[in-house]
């Protein structure tokens, strides 16, 4: 059976991915404050703070092979750049980049032992296009895209692929944090006049996990209903 590591497994997208893969793989999941509804081997970890690399390595010490790292954590951050406290900037950096790199460094030897090693990062439409009033969040997602493209080249000879998925506006808690007026404006602006279902992101993850996607690496898959294409 395949073994997948899912970080951010209790958000709307992470939970959908966890639920969609749990019957066909062993799942090791991570979240900050609540357990996943889908069970499995779960660990609480605050990815918004610098991680103890040794402590994370200990979690995987008895595991020789991992088939995929799926990185889903995300935290909204609205506000003007000049009004954003640096501790919130640091938290966004840790969630999107530093913690991701820590996990990759620890899991890469185990991913190399898989015949279909995968790293899949859930980014954002804003990482591709920028977002007023979300400049820090968008910048960190943009950094993820650069990391994905760079590591795809760096890891190509190992057989481990590295890809991203950039959803648009997804149904769930993050979108519901927006005022109703903002949600209505978004629906008017979206070409399909609908929010994306988390299961649509799951479908893309399943494609990238498939053996037939071995030659797909360094890609950012847009799932945005024709928005910002």
Radius of gyration of the chain (CA): 17
Element (H, E) at 125: helix 125-129
Residue 169 to residues 128, 176, 226: CA-CA distances in angstroms? Answer: 13, 10, 12
Classify residue 224 by its DSSP letter: S
Buried b (16+ CB within 10 A) or exposed e, 145-175: bebbbebbeebeeeebbbbbbbbbbbbbebb
Q: Is 137 a catalytic residue?
A: yes
Which of the residues 4, 133, 137, 185 is marked catalytic? 137
Pairing assessment for the beta strands 68-71 and 220-223 based on DSSP bridges: unpaired
Q: Which residues contact 87 (CB under 8 A, 6 or more apart)?
A: none
Give me the active site residues, please: 137
């Amino acid at each position: 059976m395949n073994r997948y590591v899912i970080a951010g497994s209790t958000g709307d997208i992470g939970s959908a991915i966890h639920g969609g893969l749990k019957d066909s793989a062993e799942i090791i999941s991570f979240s900050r404050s609540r357990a996943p509804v889908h069970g499995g081997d779960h660990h609480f970890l605050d990815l918004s703070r610098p991680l103890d690399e040794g402590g994370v390595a200990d979690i995987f010490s008895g595991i020789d092979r991992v088939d995929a790292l799926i990185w889903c954590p995300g935290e909204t951050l609205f506000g003007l750049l000049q009004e954003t406290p640096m501790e919130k900037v640091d938290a966004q950096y840790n969630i999107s980049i530093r913690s991701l790199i820590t996990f990759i460094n620890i899991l890469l030897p185990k991913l190399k032992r898989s015949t279909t090693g995968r790293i899949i990062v859930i980014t954002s439409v804003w990482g591709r296009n920028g977002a007023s009033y979300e400049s820090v969040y968008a910048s960190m997602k943009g950094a993820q895209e650069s990391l994905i493209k760079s590591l795809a080249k760096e890891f190509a000879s190992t057989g481990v692929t590295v890809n991203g998925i950039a959803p648009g506006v997804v149904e769930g808690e993050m979108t519901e944090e927006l005022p109703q007026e903002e949600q209505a404006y978004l629906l008017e602006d979206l070409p399909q006049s609908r929010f994306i279902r988390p299961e649509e992101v799951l479908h893309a993850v399943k494609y990238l996990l498939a053996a037939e996607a071995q030659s797909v690496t360094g890609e950012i898959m847009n799932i945005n209903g024709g928005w910002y294409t």
